[in-house]
């Protein structure tokens, strides 16, 4: 059988391969066939990720009873440690925050952050982390210059042989180019060009381009280009791309992805005018947070520790721990995983959403910190835990705030959608090649029709 696309999602433990065709109906509207999916263990530790990739393809071939051919192969990857980034800016709540938002939205894993002039101990930490990329920010445009130049000189002297992304004060561009002459350098728009203004999208695009260029250098990934002839993106960045596509279709939304090791939350929303007027610092329209300590298998012990009597009822923590499996099958295993998934969603959302606090002192009123989700109309679940276990929609609806007070959480009118084909990462990387086909995949998986209710206040 021949298909138009084969898309591989290469995770830290599992490789998922999706095969599908793209076609047109009588009105020339793009459609996609229901995809075939195969999976296998990721083989980064074997020194060659294509071993697991071929095994996942073989899984599809066994399902369809014939050989599989394809027109183009794309991929997303969080294997080999994912996209590890260190971020170095001027002030924690300004340029550092902006650079972090850009890196996270592109699918990065932030391993280190510094504010102000770096020290020799910071350089030692970068060596120990061995990141995939180093980001340097600092200063609004035509503002402070010295810190970014100082940090750049310190980093350049070490010759880390890593991609460097400079996204600070545009007045420094000439000096930065000279400092990193002969090294892989990307100079882009300032992520914090003016006070209270974020500009993260240009940085996100460059980060993903640098990732694609350098992923082949990661352990076990050197042969990936032998099979993949199209784009390669960080898996979380691909999910974010799908979230932005869906925003254009259905409006304000958030996406929850509960995994075995981490739980990611993506939101695409401007927030409400009421909260916007109270915000102390600006937030990006498209935001991602990753909870590296919250997962339902590898990090299940951390989630179990967070469970209280309201979560457990009459169930004991020891019972939960005893029945945790990577792929739950038996009734007890499913029950345990569902309890952890519910808690992981609750914790991750509470860490992603902002907070409203009363002012103290001479001026009365309220101030707000962080991301406002109050205008979110659709709460989307992706990943194995939310899409493969029963009760995913109920878990998603459980994060809504049901009272009438001012809140930064989604309100009671928000609806739940499930990525039933587990296709969001696949659609995200496909959007680079064929955005219409990516949209068709997402509509099909989330059961979004042309007459879907667009929820309004």
At which of 217, 248, 283 does a domain end? 217
pLDDT of residue 26: 66
At which of 226, 257, 277 does a domain end? 226
Residues 253 and 146 placed together within one structural domain of the fold: no
> Has residue 436 been placed in a domain?
yes
| Structural domain span for residue 336 | 232-446
Residues 208 and 282 placed together within one structural domain of the fold: no
Residues 359 and 278 placed together within one structural domain of the fold: yes
Q: Return the closest-CA partner of residue 186 out of 202, 166, 170, 168.
A: 166
Residues 245 and 366 placed together within one structural domain of the fold: yes
> Has residue 451 been placed in a domain?
no
What count of Cα atoms within 13 Å lies in the side-chain half-sphere of residue 224? 30
Query: Per-residue b/e over 160-193, b at no fewer than 16 CB within 10 Å?
Result: bebbbbbbbbbbbeeebeebbeeeebbbbebbbb
> Has residue 163 been placed in a domain?
yes
Contact between 32 and 444 under an 8 Å Cβ cutoff? The reply is yes
pLDDT of residue 386: 94
At which of 207, 226, 245 does a domain end? 226
Residues 211 and 244 placed together within one structural domain of the fold: no
pTM over 0.85: yes
Residues 30 and 151 placed together within one structural domain of the fold: no
Residues 40 and 155 placed together within one structural domain of the fold: no
CA Rg value for the chain: 22
- pLDDT tens series, the chain, 457 aa: 999 999 999 987 789 999 999 887 766 677 777 889 999 988 888 889 999 999 999 999 999 999 999 999 999 998 767 789 999 999 998 999 999 999 998 888 899 999 999 999 999 999 999 999 999 999 999 999 999 999 999 999 999 999 999 999 999 999 999 999 999 999 999 999 999 899 999 999 999 989 888 888 888 888 898 899 999 999 999 999 999 999 999 999 999 999 888 899 999 999 999 898 899 888 999 999 988 889 898 889 999 999 998 899 888 999 899 999 888 889 999 999 999 999 999 999 999 999 998 887 666 788 999 999 999 999 999 988 999 899 999 999 999 999 888 889 999 999 999 999 999 999 999 999 999 999 999 999 999 986 665 544 4
pLDDT of residue 82: 78
Give dist(CA 104, CA 97) in Å, integer.
10
pLDDT of residue 23: 83
Residues 73 and 87 placed together within one structural domain of the fold: no
């Amino acid at each position: 059988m021949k298909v138009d696309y084969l898309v591989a999602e290469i995770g830290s433990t599992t490789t998922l391969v999706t095969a599908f065709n793209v076609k047109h109906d009588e009105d020339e509207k793009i459609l996609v066939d229901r995809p075939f999916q195969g999976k296998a263990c990721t083989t980064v530790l074997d020194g060659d990720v294509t071993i697991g990739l071929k095994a996942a393809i073989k899984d599809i071939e066994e399902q369809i009873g014939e050989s599989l051919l394809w027109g183009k192969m794309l991929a997303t990857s969080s294997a080999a440690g994912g996209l590890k980034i260190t971020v170095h800016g001027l002030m924690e709540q300004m340029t550092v925050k902006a650079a972090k938002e850009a890196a996270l939205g592109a699918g990065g894993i932030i391993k280190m952050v510094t504010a102000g002039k770096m020290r020799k101990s910071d350089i030692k930490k970068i060596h120990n982390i061995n990141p995939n990329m180093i980001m340097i920010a600092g200063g609004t445009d035509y503002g402070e210059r010295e810190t970014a130049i100082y940090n750049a000189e310190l980093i350049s002297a070490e010759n880390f042989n890593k991609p460097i992304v400079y996204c600070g004060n545009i007045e420094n561009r000439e000096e930065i180019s000279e400092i990193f002459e002969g090294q892989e350098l990307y100079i882009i728009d300032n992520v914090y060009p003016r006070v209270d203004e974020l500009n993260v999208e240009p940085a996100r695009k460059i980060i993903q381009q640098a990732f694609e260029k350098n992923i082949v250098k990661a352990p076990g990934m050197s042969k990936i280009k032998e099979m993949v002839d199209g784009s390669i993106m960080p898996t979380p960045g691909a999910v974010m791309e799908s979230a932005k596509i869906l925003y254009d279709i259905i409006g304000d939304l958030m996406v929850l992805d509960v995994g075995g090791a981490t739980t990611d939350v993506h939101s695409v929303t401007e927030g409400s005018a009421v909260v916007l007027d109270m915000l102390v610092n600006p937030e990006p329209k498209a935001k991602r947070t990753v909870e590296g300590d919250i997962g339902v298998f590898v990090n299940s012990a951390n989630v179990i520790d967070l469970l209280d009597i309201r979560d457990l009822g009459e169930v004991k923590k020891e019972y939960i721990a005893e029945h945790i499996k990577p792929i739950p099958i038996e009734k007890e295993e499913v029950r345990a995983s569902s309890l952890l998934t519910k808690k992981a969603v609750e914790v991750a959302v509470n860490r992603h959403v902002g907070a409203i606090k009363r002012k103290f002192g001479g001026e009365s009123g309220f101030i707000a910190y962080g991301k406002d989700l109050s205008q979110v109309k659709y709460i989307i679940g992706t990943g194995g835990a939310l899409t493969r276990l029963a009760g995913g929609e109920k878990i998603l609806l459980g994060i809504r705030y049901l009272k009438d007070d001012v809140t930064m959480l989604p309100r009671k009118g928000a609806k739940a959608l499930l990525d039933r084909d587990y296709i969001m990462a696949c659609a995200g990387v496909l959007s680079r090649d064929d955005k219409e086909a990516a949209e068709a995949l997402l509509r099909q998986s989330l059961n979004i029709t042309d007459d879907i209710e667009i929820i309004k206040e």
